[in-house]
Amino acid sequence: MELNNESDQLTPRVRLGRRLRRMRERKELSLRQLSEQVGGYSHSYLGRVELGEQLPSTALVTALDTFFEADGVLGELLEIARENSIPGYGRAIVSKERESRRIQVFTSSLIPGLLQTEEYARELFRRSLPGESEEGLNERVAVRMHRKHIFYRSNPPYYWAIMDEASLKRPVGNAGQMQDQLRCLLDIAERPHFTIQVLPFAEGAYPMLGGCLTLLTLRDGGTMAFVESFKSGETVESPKEVVELSQRFDIARSLALPEDKSLSLIRRYLEEYADDHGS
């Protein structure tokens, strides 16, 4: 089945909305009637989706695809729209995550994106994107959370995260939200395809201080890198540059605490946030 026959000038979210509207109109349903048919999602929510003002949730799209017997078309359009909502400089790396055998990440001030809780991510977007609407924030959070689905497939990639101690020390949100985030890290660390390490303050300066690096090992054995700052990023595929960046990651790994000591440090910060939350 064709995904769409809309003009190439339309954004993916508008294409998705128009496709949904055509399906609804063919069944001669109002938004309120459709709301009743697909589990009570509000007609105003459905209207925003049709206008391309808001991306629908995965649950809603699944319900709509089933109701309209659309053969997964709406789900495919949602995937395209989600990818389009990611900043252009990050789309290449996000698309390759799904093809990766191993993901190695270093962050110097934040919890890595794929390890973030919803509330941590929402607060981070709220602070870094002043003026963003609540709907916009929710959409960005939903896209980030959706990326975690790669860990629930039958052959998930191995994920190795190294984070500067600053990512634990600097609160994003309140003490309760930081407790939830650190508990999440500890839970994730128990899973077989994850390694989490912390590079402590005591090590002083190191080659990637102030930066963020992602290394993806692909199915064919090749590696690509992504270097990101607060508002820009660069995909690196040159073998020479990838080797240089891999060496920087190796240096950070050599300076980081072993996994057991890293988790002990996370637990220490968890206790500190618990004390702050209780006071």
- Assigned domain for 171 exists: yes
Largest Cα–Cα distance of the chain, in whole Å?
67
| Same-domain check for residues 105 and 55 | no
Determine the angle formed by the axes of helices 118-128 and 175-189, rounding to 10 degrees: 130
- Assigned domain for 142 exists: no
| Same-domain check for residues 49 and 76 | yes
Average pLDDT rounded to a whole number, residues 165-190: 96
pLDDT at 181 over 90: yes
How far, in Å, CA of 82 to CA of 95, rounded? 11
What is the structure's pLDDT at 274? 93
pLDDT at 199 over 80: yes
CATH number (domain holding residue 266) = 3.30.870
| Same-domain check for residues 246 and 109 | yes
| Same-domain check for residues 41 and 109 | no
Indicate the average pLDDT of the chain: 88
3-state secondary structure the chain: CCCCCCCCCCCHHHHHHHHHHHHHHHCCCCHHHHHHHCCCCCHHHHHHHHCCCCCCCHHHHHHHHHHCCCCCHHHHHHHHHHHHHCCHHHHHHHHHHCCEEEEEEEECCCCCHHHCCHHHHHHHHHHHCCCCCHHHHHHHHHHHHHHHHHHHCCCCCEEEEEEECHHHHCCCCCHHHHHHHHHHHHHHHCCCCEEEEEECHHHCCCCCCCCEEEEEEECCCCEEEEEECCCCEEEECCHHHHHHHHHHHHHHHHHCCCHHHHHHHHHHHHHHHHHHHHC
Domain count, the chain: 2
Average pLDDT rounded to a whole number, residues 1-18: 64
What is the structure's pLDDT at 123? 94
Higher pLDDT pick, 88 / 269: 269
Domain region containing 23: 12-83
CATH number (domain holding residue 35) = 1.10.260.40
pLDDT at 1 over 50: no
- Assigned domain for 264 exists: yes
Name the range with the highest mean pLDDT among 61-70, 194-203, 229-238: 194-203
- Assigned domain for 131 exists: no
